Structure formats: structure tokens, C-alpha cells
Amino acid sequence: MTVPSAPADLPAPDRLRLAVHAALDTKAEDVRVRFVGPVADFTDYFLIASGGSERQVQSIADRIEERLREHGVRPLHVEGYAAGQWVLLDYGDLVAHVFLDDRRRHYGLERLWADAADVTADYAP
């Protein structure tokens, strides 16, 4: 079986839904989705989630990556995994941010991207 490797092989809404469910499966807290496309030129969606420990942050990121890989989608870039305080998974038009609770409060992505629509209800169960 040939596995597609480009993120565009699975539509962004489907990838986003898979990523949200993967985060929730790993007990991520305060999972949010922001549609940043109208105010950002580098991606369309942010998935933002928190974990209570560095290990949980890594586990959430692992599960997101694993779930998307099952559908042939691999990240273009991953940052911060070793430290486990803020893991960024870049899938092109979807960027997943998995934070340690205090790092999320410190960086305040929801505040910085307040002009972006919160579309969490469209993707979360």
C-alpha cells in the first residue's frame, strides 16, 4: 500500500478533526481550535491544547502525530518535543500547539490571536 505524504492528501477539516480527537483521547485539557487563515499568511488553523506534565505534553503530541500518520499525513516540522513544554506540529495549513499549562498561560496564543475565530465547536465532539 502506498501512503501519501503530502498534508494536502487529506482535507484540512478532516486532519483537524483527527488531531482534536487524538488530543482529547490523550486527556488534553482546554482543547481549542482557531481559524487564523484570515489574519495569518502561514497557516489556516491553530489547534491549541494543554497537558499537565512534560510527559503528557509529549504523549499528546505523539498521539496527534500517530493518528495523522495512520492517514498518511506527516508533519512538515516539529519543534520543542525534547523539552516537552511547548510542542509545535506543523502540518502546513494546520499547526498544533501542545503546551504545558504554565507555558500556555505565559505565551497566551489565544490572546495574541484574539482576532481569529474560535471554531472549536466545529471539530470537538
Domains, the chain, in order of start with CATH, read 22-123 (3.30.460.10)
- Answer for the pair 121, 33: CB distance below 8 angstroms, yes or no: no
Cα diameter, the chain: 44
Residue 45's φ and ψ, nearest 5 degrees, are -130, 145
- Render pLDDT for 41-84 as a digit per residue (tens, 0 to 9): 999 999 999 999 999 999 999 999 999 999 999 999 999 999 99
Rounded to two decimals, the pTM is: 0.89
In 15-125, DSSP assigns E strands to 29-35, 45-51, 77-79, 86-90, 94-100, 117-118
